[in-house]
Amino acid sequence: MASGLAVITLLGATPARAQAGADTVAAIRARGAVVCGVTGTTAGFSLPDSQGVMRGLDADSCRSVAAAIFGDASKIRFVNTTSQNRFTALQSGEVDLLVRNTTWTLSREASLGFEFASINFYDGQGFMVKKGLNVASARALDGATVCVQPGTTTELNLADYFRSNGMKFTPVVIESVEEIRTAFNSGRCDAYTNDASSLAAFRATQTNPADYLLLPEIISKEPLGAVVRKGDFKFFDIVRWAHFAQLTAEELGITSQNLASFADSPNPDVQRFMGKTGDLGKMLGLQPDWAVQIVRQLGNFGEMWDRNITPLGVQRGINNLWTKGGLQYAPPMR
């Protein structure tokens, strides 16, 4: 899901490329915590539990960066952001990175001065209806009212989909995620469109999830992941390789539970991962066991997925490892 460039321009934000040369890692260490922008409202991705602890795939992706830099995943501070203010929060330095269901696009890298360091969820835009509507396909939504957030790629994709299929619709445009879901539940719109992951998260939190139907059509590509300011490649490398370390661990069969058993492995790939050889930590400006700390405290990518996404009823699918038919692929750690 995406806020448009026009929103940033109207707010008068300074392009992040002006901050080239900034040392984000030094600022983080001086502060004693990584500050990460999240939604804070999306089950499975970032939502506080009953104890107020932020839980979810995005929240744990943020924690992986803290584990890499400090050796302590708890040295993290979360800032809730909206689709409208998230980019100004990153550009202004209010947050060090965003991991909040944000789509990687050309304009965001070329015009807004951002870099996407990783993709932790390959997603696509879908539609949800109530089963009582008796609709089994998005092609049957001609003339429907559709709840959608403003200034997002979701809004643009929605218009393109109906136009390309010769269909008409009436948008019900609401900024707040909570308000848009309330509007959908109250019957103000026939359908609710968003990233399929967000729709699944919404359905999972309802009293009667079986009353909601996620239609089969996926109308866009929405690669979601971690975003940083352009120009600080030291921090960019850490954020990117924190994700790749979790994928590599999964490929090697290393989990948070069996990590200790790999300590004396003769496998060269494992030795480099464990920080025994290769000086990979030094190259990143981190401790030799930076990758070990990530997996010890958060697990590999599969563990993180099972903890946060599997309970939503979402199959791993294209988010599986490349060796299992998915798109998650880590370059060699060497």
Domains defined for the chain, CATH in brackets = 24-123+224-321 (3.40.190.10), 124-221 (3.40.190.10)
Considering only residues 20 and 238, tell me which one the structure prediction assigns the higher pLDDT. 238
CA dihedral 174, 180, 185, 191 (to 10 degrees): 70
Is 125 in contact with 137 (CB distance < 8 Å)? no
- Checking if the pLDDT of 16 tops 50, the result is no
Residue whose C-alpha is closest to residue 126's, from 98, 151, 106, 154: 154
β-bridge partners, 47: 55
Of the ranges 89-93, 173-177, 276-280, which one carries the lowest mean pLDDT score? 173-177
Please give the Cα distance from 80 to 89 (Å, whole number).
Answer: 10
- pLDDT value for 1: 52
Instruction: Name the band, by pLDDT with cuts 50, 70 and 90, for residue 2.
Output: very low
Question: Which whole number is the average pLDDT over 147-161?
Answer: 89
Considering only residues 53 and 84, tell me which one the structure prediction assigns the higher pLDDT. 53
- pLDDT value for 14: 41
Q: How many CB atoms lie within 10 A of CB 127?
A: 26
Q: What is the distance of C-alpha 204 from the center of its chain?
A: 18
- Checking if the pLDDT of 15 tops 70, the result is no
- Checking if the pLDDT of 191 tops 80, the result is yes
Name the DSSP class of 242. H
- pLDDT value for 149: 87
- pLDDT value for 83: 83
Question: Which whole number is the average pLDDT over 40-51?
Answer: 94
Question: Which whole number is the average pLDDT over 271-285?
Answer: 97
Question: Which whole number is the average pLDDT over 285-292?
Answer: 98
pTM of the model: 0.85
Average pLDDT, the chain: 92
